[in-house]
Chain A
Amino acid sequence: MPDAADTFPRLVLRQAEERPDRPAFREKYLGIWQVWTWAQVADEARAFACGLAALGFSRGGHLGVVGDNRPRLYWAMAAAQCVGGVPVPLYQDSVAQEIAYVLQDAEATVVVAEDQEQVDKLLEILPQCPNLKTIVFDDARGLLRYQQPQLLSFERVQALGREYDRQHPGFFAAAIAAGSADDVATILYTSGTTGNPKGVTLTHRAMIATGRTYAELEHLGPRDEMLAYLPMAWVGQNLFSYAQSIVAGFCVSCPESTETVMADMREIGPTYYFAPPRVLEALLTQVTIRMEDASRLKRGLYEYFMGVARRVGPKLLGGAEKVGIAERLLYGLGDFLVYGPLRNVLGMSRVRVAYTAGEAIGPDLFVFYRSIGVNLKQLYGQTETTVCVCVQPDGQVKPDTVGPPLPGVELRLAESGEVLVRTPGLFREYHRNPQATAEAKDAEGFFHTGDAGYFDRDGHLKIIDRAKDVGRLADGTLFAPKYLENKLKFFPYIKEAVCFGQGRERVCALVNIDMDAIGNWAEKRHLSYSGYADLAAQPAVYDLVRGCVEQCNRELAADATLANSQIHRFLILHKELDADDGELTRTRKVRRRHVGEKYAALVDALYSGKTSCYIETQVRFEDGRTGMVSANLKIAEARVFDGDAVRRAA
């Protein structure tokens, strides 16, 4: 017999019945953490759901939700689902026009907004959204004197709802009974880099299946704690703090404000944590800066024990490799002196499971967290798959893969290397966009992710690039320029790299040095230089970068699929790649084709066996003037490794 609680409203009611007094939500208000139990949450959602019904919001209607993580916004989502409606969370930092597009596309009739800032945006676009009849606000501050008839406070809607509930006693139960697992539970708009965002429709069945998969894999239960600090409109936050919380019954805490997240995290002590690489990076930078300001004794201790941690920590956490008693004792001492206090400062003392995803994470960054005992793991997925494709299981964590497919997920690799996915958590369609749906989902129900990847020896998926950027070398082997570039960029000395190899025999690269890191490095060695171009041309810098490239080659050689894309020759550019010169996009992504054309002479020289090349380029200064810079660039050879030999040695 299938589980009767197969929609979110039914699950909320079940949590309220099974654990009425367990905390479901926390939010800090006036310096004190306020708690709402599951019973209270069910009651609040019921009042709001009936209020929505009183306002004429009915089955199939769409409810916009816009704001930071606030308990009431989550309750509004549950309430909409109770009456068969579909919540559509929006990014709280969207400008008015972006919000207008989504509200029009979703034909939302009611929007729940966090505060005055959001209400102002909504009022501005009201004339463009004829379907939008009601704006409900959570925080009344500054809205006292607004007189628009569309505006209603959250409390007012709940009061209407309680009245409606009294007059229609059977309504609420009947509305929940009418829901089906195959109803759409939410529509999440993906922030597409090209064109308008697409609305991804996810059913109750898909989201609950995903929530259960994660809950079982990580043994999530009512005793777990999570801090909701990423946008609600992002599928990950939605899944972790809404779907999983309702499935597993754990408590979600909302930070006091976006600036207090670090302090709130220390106070709450989450057991379950998610952070994209950029957040982890920012945290590590803070730690590093504070350690540099610390006294010599502390700094010495930190450096010594971090060395121990890097050697021993990941092995201990993985549990697969043997660790000697002496190393264990040393790590234990380090844990007492350094790692424990550090985890405490980061608010990660109680973290049992931490995930990162979204972009490639540098191995050093990844290993840092694991070495201090935080069980950080990578996962892989998209909005369309409810972020449920691959996760690294405990004990099988590697810095450069995203792990094996989750239970119930079917993965296939297309001829082009593109990853195709079929899972119970798959989206139904793009809202009102059958053409895009047909392009993304094939006849067999596989979703085309647009990512290229392959499986390593242990069956872990390795994502290397966007499928459209992946090419082939002349001998037909895979060439993933972004993967190589990322690998190079993970070295602190390399700021940017551009790899060439499409249709060629071998891979060559243009490299940009990181002025800060190499400048520092040069200073310590008393290496004098006059500027960027001079520093970039120093033989010692070439040696340093060659070391990085060769290290990268060694790692590539260990991987049968990529052994052929080792970098044979490279040169260091005399100027930084710059968005003003059209070499980077505004989000700092390399425009590979443009760079290839602009520096065609250099690329030819890399492939022709010359040892140097003269180049003259136009640069645009910050004040808009242009000028010419010229340089005679050296071309360096890098050692390549015999793939089979390296793999045998390993």
Chain B
Amino acid sequence: MTAAREIGLPILVVEGVSLSFGGVTALQSVSFDVREREIRAIIGPNGAGKSSMLNVINGVYHPQEGSVSFRGAKRRNVRPHEAARRGIARTFQNIALFRGMTVLDNLMTGRCLKMNSGFLEQALYLGRARREELEHRAKVEEIIDFLEIQHIRKTPVGRLPYGLQKRVELGRALATEPALLLLDEPMAGMNLEEKQDMSRFVLDVNDQLGTTIVLIEHDMSVVMDLSDRVVVLDYGRKIADGTPGEVRTDRDVVDAYLGVAH
């Protein structure tokens, strides 16, 4: 007996995006939207263009055609740090953390964008730098509590098992207090228990923090359980879009996944 989340208006609109690298077409006029507080999955076979789509959304790739509007602002060639500043955070398929630094320090790097004090102030730990450091540390501690990683607070990331590194990466993305969170295969390579933990954290982030989430995932049961709506890509084209139930029974999707005799 739980009350449903309120799904809002579209926060991200992708319109007719095409992307190619030389002669290779990665995306071909793909359009879809993501609504506020929604969990939106992007699925598709290998090479379907899923990661490219995320890279377009946060400005790593610039599409040749089409546009991406985030919170009503239409833009074409945004750069990744601008996207981050505007509230888009992401995690990577291959973990991209600072392996020699502790969990705490890795999460603190997620706060860099929000620090205003200058180099000298920080080096001397003066007035504003000190105040900011305490504020950011408090925020990071909330994330540590939220993700239940208190026991590894001071452990260098390189010494952690894979599942925990993934969780730390999620934590760093959360440290930027994003409005939109892009997760690139958050559960790849995890065992069942780690997947369950991660699924719970994804749901909690969405539910408790109200963060909108776009995730790429291969594990179909995870996708079906977590997401509100699913976009299916195949060879750079959108072949289906709808609720997990609708997508699952879609003829084209079944063909794309299972292959079809032509």
Contacts and interface: CB of A to CB of B under 8 A. Distances in A.
Interface of A: 28-32, 141-142, 144-148, 256-257, 259-260, 263
B2 to A, nearest CB: 4
A28 B150 CA distance: 10
Given A30-B141, A147-B3, A141 B208 contact: yes
B138 A30 contact: yes
B21 to A, nearest CB: 43
Contacts of A28: 150
Given A257-B148, A259-B150, A259-B151, A31 B1 contact: no
Contacts of A259: 150-151
Nearest to B151: A259
Contacts of A30: 138, 141-142, 144-145
Contacts of A260: 150-151
8 contacts: A30-B138, A30-B141, A31-B144, A32-B141, A141-B146, A141-B204, A146-B2, A263-B151
A256 B150 contact: yes
A392 to B, nearest CB: 34
Given A31-B141, A259-B150, 6 more contacts: A30-B142, A31-B137, A31-B150, A142-B204, A257-B150, A260-B151
Interface string B166-204: 000000000000000000000000000000000000001
B150 A144 contact: no
A105 B224 CA distance: 41
B153 interface: yes
B33 interface: no
Contacts of A146: 1-2
B78 to A, nearest CB: 34
Contacts of B141: 30-32
A360 to B, nearest CB: 31
A31 B204 CA distance: 21
Contacts of B151: 256-257, 259-260, 263
Nearest to A30: B141
B132 interface: no
A142 B141 CA distance: 18
Interface string B191-228: 00000000000001001100000000000000000000
Nearest to A263: B151
A142 B138 contact: no
Interface in B114-141: 137-138, 141
Nearest to A257: B150
Given A30-B145, A31-B141, A31-B144, A145 B207 contact: yes
A147 B2 contact: yes
Nearest to B3: A145
Nearest to B4: A145
Which secondary structure dominates chain A's binding surface?
loop
Interface string B1-19: 1111100000000000000
Which secondary structure dominates chain B's binding surface?
helix
A144 B204 CA distance: 11
A147 B1 contact: yes
A256 B144 CA distance: 11
A147 B2 CA distance: 6
Contacts of B138: 30
B1 A148 contact: yes
A413 B213 CA distance: 68
Contacts of B144: 30-31
Contacts of B145: 29-30
A353 B1 CA distance: 49
B152 to A, nearest CB: 8
A30 B204 CA distance: 18
A26 to B, nearest CB: 15
Contacts of A256: 150-151
Given A141-B208, A142-B204, A257-B148, A31 B2 contact: no
Contacts of B2: 145-147
A624 B198 CA distance: 34
B101 to A, nearest CB: 17
In this complex, which of B141, B144, B151 has the most chain A Cβ atoms within 10 angstroms of its Cβ? B151
Nearest to A259: B151
A148 B2 CA distance: 8
A30 B148 CA distance: 11
A411 B24 CA distance: 87
In this complex, which of B1, B3, B144 has the most chain A Cβ atoms within 10 angstroms of its Cβ? B1
The 4 closest A-B pairs by CB, nearest first: A259-B151, A30-B141, A145-B2, A145-B3
A147 B150 CA distance: 30
B207 A142 contact: yes
In this complex, which of B138, B150, B153 has the most chain A Cβ atoms within 10 angstroms of its Cβ? B150
Contacts of A32: 141
A257 B150 CA distance: 7
A31 B3 CA distance: 32
Contacts of A145: 2-5, 207
A145 B210 CA distance: 13
In this complex, which of B138, B144, B145 has the most chain A Cβ atoms within 10 angstroms of its Cβ? B145
B163 to A, nearest CB: 14
A260 B208 CA distance: 25
Interface in B78-99: none
B145 to A, nearest CB: 6
A60 B204 CA distance: 39
Contacts of A263: 151
In this complex, which of A28, A31, A144, A146 has the most chain B Cβ atoms within 10 angstroms of its Cβ? A31
Interface string B229-241: 0000000000000
Nearest to A147: B1
Contacts of B148: 257
A29 B4 CA distance: 30
A142 B150 contact: no
A256 to B, nearest CB: 5
B207 A31 contact: no
A148 B1 CA distance: 7
B208 A144 contact: yes
Nearest to B137: A31
Nearest to B146: A141
A313 B204 CA distance: 52
A76 B2 CA distance: 27
Nearest to B144: A31
A139 to B, nearest CB: 10
A28 B145 CA distance: 11
A144 B142 contact: no
A335 to B, nearest CB: 27
B13 to A, nearest CB: 28
A260 B207 CA distance: 27
Contacts of A147: 1-3
Contacts of B207: 142, 144-145
A151 to B, nearest CB: 10
A31 B141 CA distance: 6
A142 B148 CA distance: 13
Contacts of B5: 145
Nearest to A260: B151
B52 to A, nearest CB: 35
Contacts of A31: 137, 141, 144, 150, 153
Contacts of A142: 204, 207-208
B202 to A, nearest CB: 13
Nearest to A141: B208
In this complex, which of A30, A32, A257 has the most chain B Cβ atoms within 10 angstroms of its Cβ? A30
Contacts of B4: 145
A260 B141 CA distance: 15
